[in-house]
Structure 1
Amino acid sequence: MKRNFEMADNTKLSQNEITLVERDVNPYGIALVNPNLVAKRGPSDLVQLAEEIQKADTMIHATAYNKLQVIAEQIKFLQKQAQKILLDAKTNKDLHHAACNFVKIPGNIYHLYERLSGQQYFSLVAPEEWSNCPHKHLGSFRLEQDHSWTPVNHLETKNKEIEVIGRILASSDVDYISNAIEQGPLITS
């Protein structure tokens, strides 16, 4: 992912910033015929060298900027994921603390109600099974194997996610895993 990058400082490099290779007029102890002409550079060579160094510096800054921008986007994504995890944990904790007079079994659907007193409780009776429901229905949830709760209106998505994960775990076929990844995220919410 490339980004446009503009250098804030477009100053030219001075000759002091250009590092040239030291001249050796006696390489390996052999005297040169004309030491003044060996490895001598003209003024245009120094300008080209300075331009090349400045171009390299600009590209290094642009590359670093682009990479840091990608990391910043990943940090934002991870922050959103962390917020979602914390919200889900709070919701799951609140649901587990609702009053209940039976043992909850993973895989079953339970219905959350609220009495006039404000007490929330789980029931096995769905709102449509009551002839006249005396309490406010807050939602229906399935208890998952990891003891998290899934709202009934998200069951189809959750079931697809569980199915894909089950196939990935059961398969040692790398192509299947690659195809599953190419199909996109498991959760579309």
Structure 2
Amino acid sequence: MKVLVGGTRIRGAQSAASGLVTANMDNNIATTTVALVEGNANPTGVQLASSYHTNHIGDPMDLVALAQQIQKSSDFVRANASNRLTVIAEQIHYLQEQARKVLEEAKRDADLHHVACNIVKKPGNIYYLYKRESGQKYFSILSPKEWGVACPHEFLGAYKLQHDMSWTPYEDIEKRDSEIGIINKLLTQQVALPQCMEPNFQGLTN
């Protein structure tokens, strides 16, 4: 069977045993196999007077449409899988960045806990990090502003000791306190999240 569509010659050949039809387009287009319903001259035990009208392919253009539909469906399946894999790859990259950030902050916190200090550090207080000429780093409760021009050593930064014994840089204290405040409010009110079996986009479109 040969059909000419838009300048492209398409050949169709049907296998009677398998019910498969192969549509081949000459212009470097991949061959597409169309699965048709197998013919049966004796369905449900009833002998047909003529099986031609029930088993023949019909209009050759139907074969072309079937092949094009299968090819289009395959393209969509591939595109959807590619898009989903792209999202997964982005999520993996995000998680890798988060893991790197966690490790860096853990190392920083450990180093700060080993900094020289002559007082017992208490959570909730801000401590100021200085460096002596000898290279030793130490914590003080006096800020550079309180020292004034008499500040004896190089100021490296200020950190707040949190109740989980982590350190927050001075410039991030306000943001961190706000996050902790929201969490504490939720815990205090004992807010129970309602069970929702469907996607909830409330607040995203307002």
Question: Shorter-chain TM-score: what band?
Answer: 0.7 to 0.9
The runs of 5 or more residues in structure 2 that have no matched partner are 1-27, 195-201
Question: Which residue number corresponds to residue 137 of structure 1?
Answer: 155
The runs of 5 or more residues in structure 1 that have no matched partner are 1-9, 176-180, 184-189
Structure 1 residue 173 displacement after superposition: 4.9
Does residue 33 of structure 1 match 2:52? no
User: How many residues are aligned here?
Assistant: 167
Aligned partners of 1:13 and 1:54 also within 8 Å: no
Q: TM-score, normalised by structure 1?
A: 0.79
Computed over aligned residues only, the root mean square deviation of the Cα atoms, in angstroms, reads 2.1
Q: TM-score, normalised by structure 2?
A: 0.73
Structure 1 residue 78 displacement after superposition: 1.8
% identical aligned pairs: 47
Does residue 106 of structure 1 match 2:106? no
Measured in 1, the distance between the counterparts of 2:182 and 2:203 equals 13
Question: Which residue number corresponds to residue 57 of structure 1?
Answer: 74
Measured in 2, the distance between the counterparts of 1:79 and 1:23 equals 56
What does 1:22-171 align with in structure 2 at a 5 Å threshold?
Answer: 22-42=38-58, 43-130=60-147, 132-170=150-188, 171=190
Aligned partners of 1:140 and 1:152 also within 8 Å: yes
Q: In structure 1, give the amino acid aligned to 2:42.
A: N
Higher relative contact order (Cα pairs below 8 Å, separated by 6+ residues)? 1
Structure 1 residue 64 displacement after superposition: 0.8
Question: Which residue number corresponds to residue 6 of structure 1?
Answer: none
Measured in 1, the distance between the counterparts of 2:203 and 2:120 equals 41
CA displacement, residues 101-143 of structure 1 (integer Å, 9 cap, x when unaligned): 2221111111111111101111122222225121111111110
Question: Which residue number corresponds to residue 172 of structure 1?
Answer: 191
CA displacement, residues 70-113 of structure 1 (integer Å, 9 cap, x when unaligned): 11222222222222212211211111111122221111111111
Measured in 2, the distance between the counterparts of 1:39 and 1:166 equals 72
Structure 1 residue 30 displacement after superposition: 0.9
CA displacement, residues 6-54 of structure 1 (integer Å, 9 cap, x when unaligned): xxxx83434xx22222112111111112112213212222111111100
Q: In structure 2, give the amino acid aligned to 1:139.
A: G
Instruction: Tell me which protein shows more helix as a share of its residues.
Output: 1
Aligned partners of 1:113 and 1:120 also within 8 Å: yes
Instruction: Tell me which protein shows more strand as a share of its residues.
Output: 2
Measured in 2, the distance between the counterparts of 1:80 and 1:110 equals 28
Structure 1 residue 169 displacement after superposition: 2.8
